[in-house]
């Protein structure tokens, strides 16, 4: 007997489904199977620590939430450029239909940044992100509709082609052709579906959840003592206790710290210090945060953990550079290759390519940005208008000229000088030509 046959409404007539949907029954075997019981009890996301870790509960862990937010925010703020190679030039392919979809309106309810953030969040927390590619006249892409990855089932057929089966909210099933799906895939163990970061970091996240609960219970039910006063016997005069309580009030607060306290009747004070169990508890929480940051590839200082030393060059600055180079660049490459594979057809120009430009990540550091522009101007690969274009400023007259350093000249110019010398061009002519070549061009 299947699981659905045991439900009260099993014998009722089922409503018909639309022609595009297919219904199917799910049969469950022995309910006494320990694996099935565990899945029914906590959704199959249990950990050795006893905590249930799923995409929703993981975001309640501060470190995981911060790591996820950092990566998603970086992806959503970086522009997606569609470029066309024209010889050695790179120009914007604003005439391509994907330009408007990715940079203006991906669908009817999301902005480009919202679309990128949601897709990246699904890739991190669920391993995969899917979007339906909607085409209009002439098979031009007019929208990208995100799909819930929890409802998508991907199978690989015997001919190695992929089958995308999506379950709608009403229970109907839609079989998508691979050409109609944009698929972002995280780290994969089978080659065609990704695994979430949560799946790999489940034990660390579970330990963090349990330590958080332990701390909450400790504050709720625990007893915290500042000092203990001991007396060898019972007080003969009950007024001693009242006088002690009254005198202690004079020492409360920072302004009364380190004052001398006089005790009577042989009373002795003992301070309650942090024991080894409390210290180990704090170390466990800090180590758990470091492990979570490691799974996401986020430097610890971005989570507020600055107590540990670093081997990344000069420290925090190099960690930030490594975050872009070794973590964010990996996600940018995933976006670029998935968009080129799924959203560009065989009819597209071979010179078209997609790029996520990480230069926007350093726009907040004006000193670094201007220093890079100065180097480009000094060595001649940036003009004034090139710099103004990057700063979203209008060009100026004469700003397309490129400077040449005074102590450098081209190989072609040296060949001309040598040729004039060989043909007896004269020392004066060679000197004039040499001076002309070394004059800086107008900025």
Report pLDDT for 358.
78
Last residue of a domain, one of 347, 362, 377: 362
Residue 390 within a domain? no
Residue 443 within a domain? no
One domain, residues 135 and 238: no
Report pLDDT for 290.
85
One domain, residues 217 and 234: no
pTM beyond 0.85, yes or no:
no
Report pLDDT for 337.
93
Last residue of a domain, one of 239, 271, 303: 271
Residue 108 within a domain? yes
Tokens of 225: 């003592």
Cα 308 from Cα 290, distance rounded (Å):
10
Cα 346 from Cα 73, distance rounded (Å):
32
Report pLDDT for 198.
87
Q: Could you tell me which residues come within 8 angstroms of residue 212 by beta carbon, excluding any fewer than 6 positions away? A: 61
Report pLDDT for 229.
63
One domain, residues 193 and 305: yes
One domain, residues 120 and 215: yes
One domain, residues 119 and 162: yes
Percent helix, percent strand, percent coil in the chain, to nearest 5: 45, 15, 40
Residue 304 within a domain? yes
Residue 407 within a domain? no
One domain, residues 248 and 191: no
Report pLDDT for 235.
60
Cross-strand partners of 83:
92, 353
One domain, residues 217 and 113: yes
One domain, residues 234 and 101: no
CB distance 350 to 329 below 8 Å: no
**What's the total number of domains in the chain?**
2
User: Which residue numbers in the chain have pLDDT < 50?
Assistant: 1, 3-4, 6-27, 37-43, 223, 225, 272, 274, 276, 313, 442-443
Domain of residue 111: give its range.
48-222+277-362
> Which of these, 292, 299, 309, lies nearest to 62 by C-alpha position?
292
Task: List Cα–Cα distances, 360 to 80, 102, 320, 354, in angstroms.
Answer: 11, 17, 14, 16
Report pLDDT for 54.
81
One domain, residues 234 and 87: no
Burial pattern 37-73, b for ≥16 Cβ within 10 A else e, equals: eeeeeeeebbbebebbbbbebbbebebbebbbebbbe
One domain, residues 185 and 240: no
One domain, residues 97 and 200: yes
**Helix, strand, or coil here: 20?**
coil
Tell me whether strands 268-271 and 173-176 are parallel, antiparallel or unpaired: unpaired
One domain, residues 53 and 199: yes
Residue 357 within a domain? yes
> How many other β-carbons are positioned within 10 Å of the β-carbon of residue 114?
14
Last residue of a domain, one of 362, 384, 404: 362
Residue 86 within a domain? yes
Residue 41 within a domain? no
């Amino acid at each position: 007997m299947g699981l659905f046959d045991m439900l009260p409404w099993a014998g009722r007539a089922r409503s018909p489904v639309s022609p595009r949907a297919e219904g199917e029954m799910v049969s469950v075997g022995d309910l006494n199977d320990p694996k099935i019981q565990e899945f029914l009890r906590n959704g199959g996301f249990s950990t050795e620590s006893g905590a249930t870790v799923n995409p929703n509960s993981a975001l309640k862990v501060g470190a995981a939430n911060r790591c996820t937010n950092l990566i998603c925010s970086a992806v959503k703020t970086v522009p997606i450029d569609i470029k066309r190679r024209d010889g050695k030039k790179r120009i914007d392919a604003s005439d391509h239909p994907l330009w408007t979809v990715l940079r203006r309106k991906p669908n009817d309810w999301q902005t480009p940044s919202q679309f990128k953030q949601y897709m990246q969040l699904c890739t991190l927390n669920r391993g995969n992100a899917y979007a339906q590619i909607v085409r209009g006249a002439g098979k031009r892409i007019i929208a990208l509709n995100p799909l819930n990855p929890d409802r998508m089932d991907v199978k690989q057929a015997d001919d190695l082609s992929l089958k995308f089966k999506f379950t709608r909210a009403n229970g109907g099933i839609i079989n998508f052709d691979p050409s109609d799906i944009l698929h972002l895939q995280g780290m994969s163990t089978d080659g065609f579906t990704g695994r979430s970061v949560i799946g790999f970091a489940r034990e660390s996240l579970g330990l963090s959840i349990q330590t958080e609960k332990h701390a909450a219970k400790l504050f709720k039910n625990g007893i915290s003592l500042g000092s203990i006063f001991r007396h060898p016997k019972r007080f003969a005069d009950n007024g001693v206790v009242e006088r002690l309580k009254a005198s202690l009030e004079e020492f409360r607060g920072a302004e009364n710290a380190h004052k001398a306290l006089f005790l009577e009747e042989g009373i002795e004070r003992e301070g309650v210090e942090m024991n080894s169990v409390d210290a180990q508890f704090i170390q466990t929480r800090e180590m758990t945060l470091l492990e979570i940051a490691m799974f996401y590839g986020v430097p610890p200082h971005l989570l507020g953990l600055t107590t540990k030393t670093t081997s990344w060059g000069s420290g925090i600055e190099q960690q930030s550079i490594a975050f872009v180079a070794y973590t964010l660049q990996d996600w940018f490459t995933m976006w670029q290759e998935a968009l080129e594979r799924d959203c560009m057809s065989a009819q597209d120009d071979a010179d078209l390519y997609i790029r996520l430009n990480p230069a926007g990540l350093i726009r907040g550091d004006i000193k670094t940005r201007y220093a890079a522009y100065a180097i480009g101007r000094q060595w001649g690969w940036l003009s004034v208008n090139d710099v103004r274009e990057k700063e979203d400023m209008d060009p100026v007259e004469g700003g397309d000229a490129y400077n040449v350093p005074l102590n450098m000249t081209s190989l072609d110019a040296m060949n001309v000088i040598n040729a004039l010398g060989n043909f007896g061009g004269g020392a004066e002519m060679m000197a004039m030509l040499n001076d002309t070549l070394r004059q800086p061009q107008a900025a």
